[in-house]
Amino acid sequence: MNHAFLALLPFLFLSPPDDDPITKKAHKIHQRVLTLDTHADAPIMMQNPGFDVGKTHDTKRDQSQIDFPRMKQGDMDAMFFAVYTSQGPRTDEGHAEAKRNALNQFDLIHQALKKYPNLAELATTPDDAYRIQKAGKRAVFIGMENGYPVGNDLSMLKTYYDLGARYITLTHFANNLIGDSSTDPDGPMYGGLSEFGKKVVVEMNRLGILIDVSHVADSTFYDALALSKAPVIASHSNCRALCDFPRNMTDEMIKAIAAKGGVVQVNFVSDYLKKPSDAHRAAKTKIRMSRVGKVATPEMEARIAALSDSVSKVYASERASLSDIADHIDHIVQIAGIDHVGIGSDFDGGGGVNGLEDVSQIENLTVELLRRKYSEADIAKIWGGNLLRVLGQAKVN
């Protein structure tokens, strides 16, 4: 038999047939409920010269998973576009560059929305999301991944809030001035939140910016949870019980988020869905940490992209599936309840599994949830209702 055909066999049955009753039911559900994804790295692609988020792109050729037309194709009503900055040097120069980078990404988002007012609109409240959905457009919220661009200037929080930021992930892959990261190669600096970080949490509560505990060290997590007067979120995190990685949440952490009224948004990154081999994890960690403490350059990003592509090809057999995503959703529901789980795909930032390659294919996950006997009311909560409830509680007077 043709070996090329054999290689394709695992991919021929990833999506259910269009005439499948459950597929039809999933499509109808997506036309009725509001679907929201709390972590989309579209701004990474939007920084590439010539990339146009208002045009349809090819997932494999363009290495892009999000644009407005594909959001519409998949019935994805709302996404948080993440203003992401990798952790550079904790110096005045490093913070100045991070602020410049962040402000540029905010501008790119606003310019795209200005260019395509008939396709998408900025959302900052739950009411905005429902209004924009009703108008047949995509709602674009803004989150910030990594508090690094705050530097040591508390007033920057108001600047980012005024530009539309409605959550901030306190840290990323390394420690910053706010607190300790779960993955800093040098270990903790503060044993949780720094003194400045405690002021950041209080100010975020005052402004109405959700505190996002994805990526933070366990000690930072518990400090932030205890200090925050509003519910907190994990915008793109999975279950450590199913995939033992420090970026994921322990059962105790998930229950603690739920007890405070918050939500854990399951992401689609294979490394955090199923445990990779030691060699695969070591290769990915080496690439991930090659950014830490450095100012990003186009040459460095191109080199990292090439290495990432090579590693993905070598370890393609370890890639996660739709079933793995649903397993993490199941686990959170079992230990914390249906009101405390959602979706934070990490598309364009490493997210994507067999059967769910880009935003146009999100109904495939709903098909899997229906096969696992989730009701339409459950699915409405998972796909956005829970997160919007929490967003409505972000501001503390």
Residue recorded with tokens 């390394």: 174
pTM for the whole structure? 0.88
Residue 146: both structure tokens together: 């990594």
pLDDT digits (tens, 9 = 90+) for 172-181: 999 999 999 9
Q: Residue 317: pLDDT above 80?
A: no
pLDDT digits (tens, 9 = 90+) for 71-83: 999 999 999 999 9
Query: 275: pLDDT confidence band, cut at 50, 70 and 90?
Result: confident
Q: Where are the domains of the chain?
A: 34-274+320-361+372-391
Q: In the prediction, which pLDDT does 318 show?
A: 74
Tell me how far apart the alpha carbons of residues 18 and 23 are, in angstroms, rounded to a whole number. 6
pLDDT digits (tens, 9 = 90+) for 159-206: 999 999 999 999 999 999 999 999 999 999 999 999 999 999 999 999
Q: In the prediction, which pLDDT does 18 show?
A: 64
Share of the chain above pLDDT 90, in %: 83
Longest CA pairwise span in the chain (Å): 69
Tell me how far apart the alpha carbons of residues 230 and 111 are, in angstroms, rounded to a whole number. 31
- Residue 392's Cβ-side half-sphere holds a number of Cα atoms within 13 Å equal to 11
Q: Residue 70: pLDDT above 50?
A: yes
The three-class DSSP label of residue 391 is: helix
What amino acid is encoded at 387 in this protein? Answer: L
Tell me how far apart the alpha carbons of residues 324 and 33 are, in angstroms, rounded to a whole number. 23
Q: Which long-range contacts (CB under 8 A, 24 or more apart) does 69-74 make?
A: 69/119, 70/358, 70/359, 70/360, 71/120, 71/138, 71/359, 71/360, 72/119, 72/138, 73/360, 74/30, 74/358, 74/359, 74/360, 74/361, 74/362, 74/363
Q: Residue 297: pLDDT above 90?
A: no
pLDDT (average), residues 311-332: 82
Q: What is the CATH number of domain 34-274+320-361+372-391?
A: 3.20.20.140
Tell me how far apart the alpha carbons of residues 38 and 242 are, in angstroms, rounded to a whole number. 21
Neighbour count for residue 206 (Cβ, 10 Å): 16
Q: In the prediction, which pLDDT does 295 show?
A: 63
pLDDT digits (tens, 9 = 90+) for 324-333: 999 999 999 9
pLDDT (average), residues 111-115: 98
* 310 Cβ contact list (under 8 Å, min separation 6): none
Tell me how far apart the alpha carbons of residues 333 and 157 are, in angstroms, rounded to a whole number. 33
Residue 157: both structure tokens together: 């929080």
pLDDT digits (tens, 9 = 90+) for 338-378: 999 999 999 999 999 999 999 999 999 999 999 999 999 99
Q: Residue 1: pLDDT above 50?
A: no
Tell me how far apart the alpha carbons of residues 222 and 257 are, in angstroms, rounded to a whole number. 10
Residue recorded with tokens 């998972």: 382
